[in-house]
Amino acid sequence: MADLNTRISDFLWKNLNEKHVTGKKDPFWESLCNTGTELWLDTGDMEEAEANWSAEMSALTTNNTLLNNEIQKGIYDVFISESKSVVRDLPQEERVNEIAFILNARHGLRLASKFGGYVSVELHTDTAHDIKAILNYGKRFHEICPEQFIVKVPYSAEGLIGARLLKDSGVRVNLTLGFSARENVLVTRMTRPDYLNVFLGRIGSYMIDNKLGDGSGAGERTVVATQNWVTGLSAENPWQTKLIAASLRSYQQLEMLAGTDVFTMPPKVASSGHKVLSGNFTSKMHENYEVSIFNPDEKSGIEKFWQVDEKVLNLASRLAEKVPATGQELIHIAQDAGCVDMFPFLTKEEKIYIACDGKIPVHSRWEQKIREEKIAPDTLLTLAGLASFTNDQKMLDQRIRDIIG
């Protein structure tokens, strides 16, 4: 394995000659940074990133979807073909996984070299429920670019454990696919990552698509609640965890969520905000955004995005005291603590629903289980997010197969 890692590292760094981009200072972005917010661009597209990069921006983040978008353009087809010789001794499917890793690392290195900031690189979705694989690939990402790579690990029972082990071994970790304050309380206490996330846009979309409300305020309220929890918990620890308001959907959120630890901004949001907003930013971390719920008496579970109850706090304390050895052990502990809806049992049919419904689950399929607190909307969005990434990863893997034969 050491010989393979050396061959891969040499191949990754070969002919890496990106022209460095020096961002210019911009009072607009400086004002936002002064509220305490780090600015990351949410794209894998080099040209988009360069058009929006400024001196105040510190990182870029990619994911399985964004990387797949770049791969499907064909710009790495020759690189994929050349990589065959690097992984020549491996069985076919292992070769595919290794080349997918190589592509992610190479694109990350290009972004790191060109812009000089941190780059979040994401694990292959096949590792999501495999602690050993999370550790293997996470450490290898780190070894390739220890100063700039941040390893994204998905929220799952095994992901929480794997991320903690990576963090303990000195790897910068971004625990991704979080959607609620309560999920992130668990993450902060148990996993201790450098970064965690609220993917706020999908919270509003869940409400709108399922006719539960007009979507306004829900994602924003969740971010503010989560930020206050994460800030409070981090203050008690010798390490610091930062919240990412992930993949902003509208330029108005630049103002509404100013003061959040980190923004990941799609280039269109960054560009639109720069054109339209005044640039007079102040922290909004004490706002209590109103959420429009059409039928508040129904047990839709929407409030679980921003509320953290005593059961969750007790579970977080228990997991912080002793990290479980396996995902199944963690799930058993969560269920014993009365948090079944955070790590639910899914039938084969339910797993198919998750995979087929896309990023926004169909609420009506789950109403009964939500009422019985056997699952919750934040959990559904996390499961759906991982399933969506898995579909994009399959597309990327198939392109590799088609090229290497």
pLDDT digits (tens, 9 = 90+) for 298-354: 899 999 999 999 999 999 999 999 999 999 999 999 999 999 999 999 999 999 999
| Summary mean pLDDT of the chain | 97
Query: pLDDT-derived band of residue 210, with 50, 70 and 90 as boundaries?
Result: very high
Domains of the chain plus CATH, in order, are: 2-13+24-404 (3.20.20.70)
The model's pLDDT over 163-200, given as tens digits with 9 standing for 90+, comes to 999 999 999 999 999 999 999 999 999 999 999 999 99
Q: Is the pLDDT assigned to residue 234 strictly greater than 90?
A: yes
Crossing angle for the helix pair 2-13 and 131-144, to the nearest 10 degrees: 50
Please give the model's pTM, rounded to 2 decimal places: 0.97
pLDDT at 21: 97
Residues in contact with 222: Cβ distance below 8 Å, sequence separation at least 6, in sequence order: 179, 180, 181, 198, 200, 203, 305, 306
pLDDT at 247: 85
Q: Dihedrals φ, ψ of 352, to 5°?
A: -65, -40
Burial of 58 (0-12, 13-18, 19+ CB in 10 A): middle
Would you call 308 helix, strand, or coil by DSSP?
Answer: coil
Any long-range contacts for 131-135 (C-beta under 8 Å, 24+ apart)? 131/158, 131/161, 131/162, 131/165, 131/326, 131/327, 134/158, 134/159, 134/162, 134/163, 134/165, 134/166, 135/162, 135/165, 135/166, 135/169
pLDDT at 238: 87
A 10 A CB-CB count for 74 gives 11
**Per-residue pLDDT averaged across 9-24, rounded?**
96
pLDDT at 297: 84
Query: pLDDT-derived band of residue 2, with 50, 70 and 90 as boundaries?
Result: confident
The model's pLDDT over 63-85, given as tens digits with 9 standing for 90+, comes to 999 999 999 999 999 999 999 99
Cα separation, 210 vs 199, whole angstroms: 18
Percent of the chain past pLDDT 90, that is, above it, reads: 97
More confident site: 247 or 72:
72
